[in-house]
Amino acid sequence: MELLLVVIIGLLYAAGIYMMLRRSLLKLIIGLILLGNGANMLIFLLGRIVKGKPPIIDASESILSGIYADPVPQALILTAIVISFGLQSFAIILIKRAYKVVKTDDLDEMNATDEDL
Amino acid sequence: MKTIIFKTASSYLLPLLLLFAIFILLRGHYLPGGGFVGGLIAAIAFVLHSFANGIERTRGIIKFHPGFLMPIGLSIALCSGLAPLLVGSPFMTGLWYHNPIPVIGMIGTALIFDIGVFLVVIGVVLTIIFTISETI
Amino acid sequence: MSNPYIILPVIFQLFTAILLMFFWTKKNSQKLISIICSLITLGISIWLITIVLLQGIHVTQAGGWEAPFGITFVADPLSTLMILLTSISGLAVSIFSTGSVRNARIKFGYFPIFHFLLMGLNGAFLAGDIFNLYVWFEIIIISSFVLITLGGEKAQLEGSIKYVTMNLLASVVFLTAIAILYGLTGSLNMADLSIRVANIENRGLVNVTAILFFVGFGIKSAVFPLHFWLPASYHTPPPAISAIFGGLLTKVGVYALLRVFTLIFIPDDFMTDVITWVAIMTILTGCLGALVQNNIRKIFSYLIVGHIGYMIAGLGMYTEAALVGTIFYLIHDIIVKTNLFMVTGVIFKLKGTYSMRNLGGFYKTYPKLSLLMAVPIFSLVGIPPLSGFWAKVFWIESGFITENYLLVFVLVFGSFLTLVTMAKLWAEVVWKDGDALPMKINVKYFWELKPIKRVAMIVPIVLLSMVSLYIGFGAEHIISISRLIGSQLIDTTPYIEAVLGPLNAEVI
């Protein structure tokens, strides 16, 4: 399981960076999304994957017993997913606006910031 | 997607989904669920309705701009966070009313916070989706 | 010392933003609320730094969950100082915005987003938990994304694509670093991490994580070779937004570097070498880049990069005196850079261009304004006794002590380049005889504005100039605060004990 996840994370990072290096704006955003997913999987993996119970204490006991899953990585991933949801929807709207104004999808042709104003 | 089956179903699904969203919101403290998921479900209920009947009809149901839910939800959440400061506990400490109330369950600052999140999520998601679909 | 009220600067900014959202369509009420609430925040931050300096570090555990399990907020001298500076710049930019930002932008929620940005900044400074720091960073960048794109002009959109991409990438790198750090230590609390990281056997992995953090924060603070997005985007939004970006956003990156590399990863020889070389290259690229620019906002953008290099250099030497210099420079730089971008805003409103070649004749037509401009410009160069000078004394002194002669040379050379650039700017903009420029239709000139708006654009510049004169002439006070912070950055025991309670000898 760990090995499989490691391979998937590596693929997600590689694919994300490859897509970011392309000239097209849309592929840039796809690359960022893939990278974000890779990072979330990495947190999941490094939080140690165990076959255990959820970390909930029974009413009859006072402390957790046995093997239990670490709740922190799940909370971190949830937070990161919510944040990336907001950021990515913003980025998609941004490239759409930029495409309308600049009329190109090619990053090489976006040189307005280098002109003398 | 304006088929008659979908259209008829969507008008029954909207209240059902909203009710389900509130159910998810209320069970959230000890069981899977909560304000964020509940808010998403409520927003999806409206999105489904807009798919079937068009955005204008959905706007007609909501009556006010969904963005207005954001400040309301944020202020509810902020108040629930500030309440513990009044009794000298740190920000966001959970304060609970000890007697459970029928149907709703335990009342506490966490529930109020979740209601705030619920409203913010509905507001944000509907604003995003309405804005995107308007400009397409 | 536990004190639940230390997060007031964050909560109050949130409250302001919510209040402003209720007044979404009423632009005059928004302006008034923004200024009044910025004043109150300034009061809160002065109160906070006073109690921290008098009584020591204050801590609160959000939700009452004890550290290292809950989320901790720590008000130590460095973070409260940063909050104070944020409040001063925030107040100045808030006043400046009421005069200079167009109504169309205010209609789309300029002021609420601006206060969300300030909330994020205050939160980032108070965070005592590395993941919480990440969340505050995300709040900062999403607010800054909205601010930089607001208005939607062509150059602005292109600049913001570069800005958005690099910042999203930085967040992913930061998140990756947090994931590895959590895998290594099983903790996220910075004070707890400080103890745990020191005990890890596998130093190679620790160094990899440290480099990941350095890259993540390095993109945000624009160090070489990750700086190129900054000069491509900071000159595109309206001056008020450039001012808050130039003054504060890159400095959050520097703050995070200072925090992480003094508390969690104590730099070994390898890391100090990396940081020093990065600093040298940053100073050279920033200052040389500024030399050849024609757009005055781009000059200041490149100088931001160069001067970030100075602060990183202080971290690279890693002596107490060098860190004192960095803190002092941080104080000076936030105030002066905010001020300079506001000055460029006034220049644009007067002449309708940012091009240095076309500008001119300021001394002849606006002598008082030229005098006002002289304060931030010469403070930036660091002509004694103005505020940019004192920090360099500390750096050069510790450069000789640590035998970093190359770094000392580059520091002096960078200051020299800054001097040349500023002298060129002064000669071109102020002393040169300027021709009357053709009027532009879409620019609202200074004299066309209402008197209250003109006052709103000049007052914050005067305010920040006074502050920067105080930093220069009252350097004794600032140095004593910087020394206190510097000593606490080297000896982190008070910070750790404030968060985790008294340490017993075995843990250390």
Helix (H, G, I), strand (E, B) or coil at C319: coil
The parent domain of residue A39 ranges over: 2-52+68-110
Question: Of the candidates B36, B124, B132, which has its C-beta nearest A93's C-beta?
Answer: B132
Chain C residues interacting with chain B (CB cutoff of 8 angstroms): 2, 4-5, 7, 11, 14-15, 17-18, 21-22, 24, 60-64, 73
Tokens of B15: 């209240």
The answer to whether residue B42 scores a pLDDT higher than 80 is: yes
Q: Is B96 in the C-facing interface, judged by CB distances under 8 Å?
A: no
Backbone angles phi, psi at C63, to 5 degrees: 75, 5
Give start and end residues of each alpha helix (H) in C426-474.
Answer: 451-473
Residue A62 domain-assigned (yes or no): no
Give residue-wise pLDDT tens across range C426-472. Answer: 888 888 887 777 777 777 777 778 888 888 888 999 999 999 899 88
Of the CA atoms within 13 Å of residue C12, those in its CB half-sphere come to 20
Distance from CA of A8 to the nearest CA of C (A): 15
Neighbours, chain C (3 or more CB pairs < 8 A): A, B
Q: Which residues of C touch A (CB under 8 A)?
A: 131, 135, 138, 141-142, 145-146, 149, 152-155, 157-162, 164-165, 168-169, 171-172, 175-176, 178-180, 182-183, 186, 188, 232-233, 235-236, 294-295, 353-355
Q: Which residues pair with C62 in a beta bridge?
A: C71
Residue A92: count other Cβ atoms within 10 Å of its Cβ. Answer: 16
Paired tokens of C130? 């590395």
Q: What is the pLDDT of residue C365?
A: 83
Nearest to C62 among B78, B82, B92 (CB): B92
Nearest to B90 among C18, C22, C63 (CB): C63
C27 to chain B, minimum CA–CA distance in Å?
17
Enclosing H/E stretch for B107:
strand B105-108
> Does some domain include residue A33?
yes
Chain A positions touching C186 (Cβ under 8 A) are 70
| pLDDT value of residue C508 | 47
Two structure tokens written together for A78: 């949830």
C-alpha closest to that of C475 among C410, C405, C384, C349:
C384
Smallest CA–CA distance, residue A88 to chain C, in Å, is: 9
* A105 is a domain residue: yes
The pLDDT of residue A1 is 81
**Confidence grade of residue A116 (pLDDT, cut at 50, 70, 90):** low
CATH code, domain with A82: 1.10.287.3510
Give the distance from residue C19's alpha carbon to the nearest chain B alpha carbon, in angstroms: 8
- Where are any strands of DSSP class E within C424-472? none
**Gyration radius from chain A CA atoms:** 21
Total number of domains in chain A: 1
DSSP structural state of residue C441: S
Closest chain C CA to residue B67: C21
What's the average model confidence in pLDDT over B100-122? Answer: 85
Would residue A30 count as lying in a domain?
Answer: yes
Q: What is the pLDDT of residues A21-38, one digit of tens each?
A: 888 888 989 999 999 999
pTM of the model: 0.93
CA gap A6, A14 in Å, rounded: 12
Q: Is residue A46 part of a domain?
A: yes
The answer for A 46-105 residues in CB contact with B (under 8 A) is: 82, 86, 89, 93, 96
Distance between CA C341 and CA C242 in Å, rounded? Answer: 6
Total domains, chain B: 1
Tokens linked to C228: 């190129």
**pLDDT tens-digit readout, C146-163:** 998 887 778 888 888 888
- Closest-CA distance, C183 to chain A, in angstroms, reads 5
> What is the per-residue pLDDT for B115?
92
Residue A13 lies in a domain: yes
For residue C448, what are its two tokens? 């066309």
**pLDDT score of A117:** 54
pLDDT (0 to 100) of residue B66: 86
Q: How far, CA to CA in Å, does B124 sit from each of A81, B120, B129, C138?
A: 16, 6, 9, 17
Q: Which domain holds residue B38?
A: 4-135
User: Predicted ipTM?
Assistant: 0.93
CB contact under 8 A, A93 and B36: no
Does the residue A57 lie in any domain? no
Centre a 10 Å sphere on the Cβ of residue C493 and count the other Cβ atoms it contains: 11
As a whole number of angstroms, the distance between CA C354 and CA C349 comes to 10
Low-confidence ranges of chain C (pLDDT < 70): 504-508
Peptide bond into C112 cis (omega under 30): no
Residue A59 belongs to some domain of the structure: no
Asked if B92 reaches chain C (Cβ–Cβ under 8 Å), the answer is: yes
